[in-house]
Amino acid sequence: MPSHVARVFITGASSGIGEALARHYAGRGASLGLVGRRVAALEALARSLPGTHALYGLDVADPVALGDAAADFIARFGLPEVVVANAGVSVGTLTEAADDLAAFERVLRTNLLGMVTTFQPFVAPMRAAGRGRLVGIASVAGIRGLPGAGAYSASKAAVIAYLESLRVELHGSGVKVVTIAPGYIETPMTAVNTYPMPFLLPVEQAAARFAKAIDAGTSYCVIPWQMGVVAKLLRLLPNPLFDRLFARAGRKPRGLPL
C-alpha cells in the first residue's frame, strides 16, 4: 500500500491506541471516521486534528448504528483504505463471582462481536474494490489464559482466531487482514494496573509501529517485538510450569466501569 492513506475508519478512537492512531493518520493527511461512546472526547480530538473528519458516537456492540456509520462515511468520503477495529474493554474477572457474569458478557460482546460488527459493512465493498486493510487489535493476553483475566484473555484469544479465519476467507481478494497483538502500551487501560508491565511502550511510538505493520499488510505481529519473544516462549511452556509461574501473577482490578 502506498504511504498516502486518504481514508481511515477507527473504533475506540476517543482515547488510548485509537486516539494515537487517529493523530498518526490525520498527520498523514487522511480523513477519518472516528467511532467511540464518549462523544465529547471525540469532538475534542477532532478539533485538535488537521483535516475533515466524521464523528460517530455509538457502541460497537450495536450493529445497526455501526452499519449506518459505515454507510455515512463511505457516502461522504469514499471507501476507506484502512478500517481499524480497536474498541475494547478490560476488567478483572473471576468465574466464581456471580457479580462478574455481566462483565464477562460485556467484555466478550465488545472485544469480539464488536470487531465483527465493525468489519461487516466494509468486507463486501472492499472485496468488490479488490483492496483495503481490515485491522484487528488483539493482545498478547490472548496467547495464554491469565489469572483474573478470564474474560479479557478469552476475548483476545477469540479475536486472534476470528481474524485468522477472516484472513483466509479473503485470501486472494486484494483485501489484507492485519492482526496486531500489543503488549503493554501506555494507555488509560493499562494505567489502572498495579503490577509491573515489562517493555511498556508509549502510545505514540506504538501507533507509528502499528501503522508500519498496516502499510505492509503484515498478517500477524506483536508490538513491541520483545513481547513477541515472550509470547513465543509462553506458547512453549508446559502447563505445569506455566501454572506454577503465573498462579501469583498480578491481576487487573475487578469492578472497573465498562
Q: Which amino acid is at 198?
A: P
Q: What share of the chain is helix, strand, coil (3-state, %, to 5)?
A: 50, 15, 35
Instruction: Identify residue 108 by its one-letter amino acid code.
Output: L
- Exposure of 168 by Cβ count < 10 A (0-12 exposed, 13-18 middle, 19+ buried)? exposed
Neighbours of 247 (CB within 10 A): 8
Active-site residues: which are they?
152
Contact 15, 188 (CB under 8 A): yes
Residues near 56 by Cβ (< 8 Å), separated by ≥ 6?
A: 33, 34, 35, 36, 42, 65, 69, 72, 73
CA–CA dist 143, 141 (Å, integer): 6
Q: How far is CA 240 from CA 236, 237, 246, in A?
A: 12, 8, 10
The owner of cell 458516537 is: 57
Q: Please, what sign has the CA dihedral across residues 237, 103, 14, 202? A: negative
